[in-house]
Amino acid sequence: MNLTVKTTISWLEKFDEKIQVNKDLLTDLDQAIGDGDHGINMSRGLTEVMKTLESKSFQTIGDLIKGVAMTLIGKVGGASGPLYGSAFLKMGAKIGAKEQLSDEELLEALKEGEQAIIQRGKASVGEKTMVDVWSPLLEDFSQETHINWEDLKVAAHEKMTGTKDLHAKKGRAAYLGARSVGHIDPGAMSSYLLFESLAETMMEGENNNG
Ligand SMILES: [Mg+2]
């Protein structure tokens, strides 16, 4: 199924729902190894994104994604706003005026988002950050022309739980060193929720189209 403006909105609505449901979990994860603000920041951010989607209409996926980016950059504090914001900004720029995206084009856009996160966060794979979901996941599916979304969802979950075993090398968690082991990275969890939302939206679309 191709991603359209309508399904992109469904993806974001689902992401918002999952962030609100998991707000306390994200807070708990960030309290264990960070400053505890990830749940509040993401919850506030997605509430603002939903307001943006209600107040404006978007003709292209690129415009929609850029609108989301500007909201996240402008309204979300902590590290997560700028990280997700720059990811969406680069994705929107890559997508441009397209009204629908094939799986390959969507993967290319997500890859741009991943690069933005790496540049902005100056993090690489294995440092116990959201990069540990984005990079290996997109690498796994980089050769796919048609994504099996159930497989992607399962893979995203594996990458997220895999951050539990990593030593933090970035941000506040880095001060904990070995004591950060045993805790899932909160940014990896919210990134998992983003990919889970995308996978579920795409699977629902495929089912609706028979
Ligand atoms: Mg934090």
Q: Provide the CATH number for the domain around residue 171.
A: 1.25.40.340
Position 209 scores a pLDDT of: 66
pLDDT at 210: 47
> Quick one: DSSP state of residue 147?
-
Tell me the pLDDT tens digit for each residue of 64-80. Answer: 999 999 999 998 878 88
How far is the centre of ligand 1, averaged over its atoms, from the C-alpha of 81 (Å)?
11
Number of domains observed in the structure of the chain: 1
Tell me, in angstroms, the distance from the centre of ligand 1 to residue 65's CA.
24
Q: What is the pLDDT of residues 143-198, one digit of tens each?
A: 999 999 999 999 999 999 999 999 998 888 888 888 889 999 999 999 999 999 99
Joined tokens for residue 97: 């005026």
Lowest-pLDDT range of 6-10, 112-116, 179-183? 179-183
Give residue 92 CA to ligand 1 midpoint distance, Å: 25
CA distance 60 to 76: 24
Domain that holds residue 156: 3-208
Structure-token match 């579920």, residue found: 200
pTM, two decimals, is 0.97
Which pair of tokens denotes residue 136? 């290996």
Q: Is 60 left (phi over 0), alpha (psi -120 to 50) or beta?
A: beta
Ligand 1 centroid to Cα of residue 209, in Å, is: 40
